Amino acid sequence: MMIDENKPVALLTFKELMEALQEVFRKNSEAQVAKNELQVLMSQEEAAEYLGVSVASMYQYVHKGLPVSKKGKYNFFKKQDIDSWFKGRTRRRKKVVFMQTN
């Protein structure tokens, strides 16, 4: 239920006030869940699947500077770090030169 924003809070019924508070808590909870999902650690295999690349490619990305968390001999990645790292990279394209033949 939407409440009238022009109506003073003191004039809200108890039910209207409770519904408004529940809506605020629901929106805050959804935002927190979304934020937490970005911080979940992915294994090397999960990260490779997320990116659609091989596990060997993940090792190359780490060598090139992809942020990684090491736990023993295992690599773990945050989705937010992966997204940020790839967003900041620019792809180098090879220049193709066409030559005319007579």
What values do phi and psi take at 91, rounded to 5? -85, 130
Residue 4 belongs to a domain: no
Q: What's the domain range around 53? A: 16-82
Residue 10 lies in a domain: no
**Tens place of pLDDT per residue across the chain (102 aa):** 455 566 666 667 778 777 887 887 777 776 666 566 556 789 999 999 999 999 999 999 999 999 998 888 889 999 889 988 988 876 666 666 667 776
Position 54 in a domain: yes
Look up residue 58 and give its amino acid: M
Assess if residue 22 is contained within a domain.
Answer: yes
| Strands ordered across the beta sheet of 69-71 | 41-43, 74-78, 69-71
Number of domains in the chain: 1
- Residue 20 counted as domain residue: yes
Give the DSSP per-residue string, 1-51: -PPPTTS-GGGS-HHHHHHHHHHHHHHHHHHHHHHHHHT-EEEHHHHHHHH
CATH classification at residue 55: 1.10.10
User: Is 36 domain-assigned?
Assistant: yes
Residue 93 forms part of a structural domain = no
